[in-house]
Amino acid sequence: MGDLTRAHETSTGPAAADHDVVVGHRLVPHTADCIIEAWGSDRPSCLMEALYALVEELAEVPDTAASRLMPLATELRGANDALVSLFEDVIYALDVFSVVPVRFHLTETESGGIAGDMEVVPVEQAVLVGPVPKAVSYHGLSMIQGEGGWRCRVLIDV
């Protein structure tokens, strides 16, 4: 993540817009599932923050765990659609390849899509700390650009 300042929260607190940090994420209470809010200076950094929040809710991985790369990309240009697509790709990888992502590398493509990869480790190297994410809901979904960068909010079914 370079030298960007990041903020991580796991509780109710001031709204994302109140933070004076460039990138970060937090969890917002939801009775049954999990709402992620993330923010970043650009769209890829905002999306990566949201994805880090997803993984942090799921598992802890030792720094020493061996990782390999898997592609992660979407050509969808709608901001919400791109977010849903990337989250669904990660959830698919959890279910089908039994891997846990530990690092994301995403950039914007010339055509307006998002492209990159994720470093993943076998699930056996991770310690499960929370319920497994299984789907992305459209309820309250938003991914918007404001003065300070991008912000998103997404409800994950667990």
Partner 1 sequence: MPRVDRRLKAAGGARPVPTTVALREIPGMVDRWRIDPIGAMRVPGIVFASDRLLPQVAEDEALQQVVNVAALPGIVEASYAMPDVHWGYGFPIGGVAATDVASGGVVSPGGVGFDISCGVRLLVSPLLSDELAPRLEDVMDALDVAIPRGLGRGGVWHLDDDRHLDVVLREGARAALAAGLGTERDLARCEDDGNPSGSDPSQVSERARERGLGQMGSLGSGNHFLEVQAVDQIYDAEAARAFGLSLSQVCVMIHCGSRGLGHQICSDHVRVMLGAMPRYGIALVDPQLACAPVDSPEGRAYRGAMAAAANYGRANRQALSAAVRRVFQAAVGTGDLALVYDVSHNLAKLEYHQVEGQARLLCVHRKGATRALPPDHPDLPEDLRAVGQPVLVPGSMGTSSHVLAGVDPGGAFSSTCHGAGRTMSRHAATRLVHGDELRRQLEAAGIAVRARSIRGLSEEAPIAYKDVDEVVATCEHAGLARRVARLRPLGVVKG
- Which chain residues interact with partner 1 by CB under 8 A? 10-13, 15, 27-34, 58-59, 88, 91-92, 94-96, 98, 100, 123, 126, 128-132, 134-141, 155, 157-158
**Cβ proximity of 132 and 148 under 8 Å:** no
Question: 101: Cβ–Cβ under 8 A, 6 or more apart, which residues?
Answer: 51, 55, 70, 90, 93, 118, 119, 120
Shortest Cβ 115–partner 1 spacing (Å): 20
Q: Give min distance, CB of 27 to partner 1, in A.
A: 6
In angstroms, what is the minimal distance from the CB of 85 to partner 1?
Answer: 10
Q: How far is the CB of 23 from partner 1 (least distance, A)?
A: 20
Cβ proximity to partner 1, 89 vs 119, nearer residue: 89
- Minimum CB distance to partner 1 smaller for 46 or for 58: 58
DSSP 22: S
CA separation for the pair 71, 120 (Å, rounded): 10
Helices (H), the chain: 43-58, 79-97
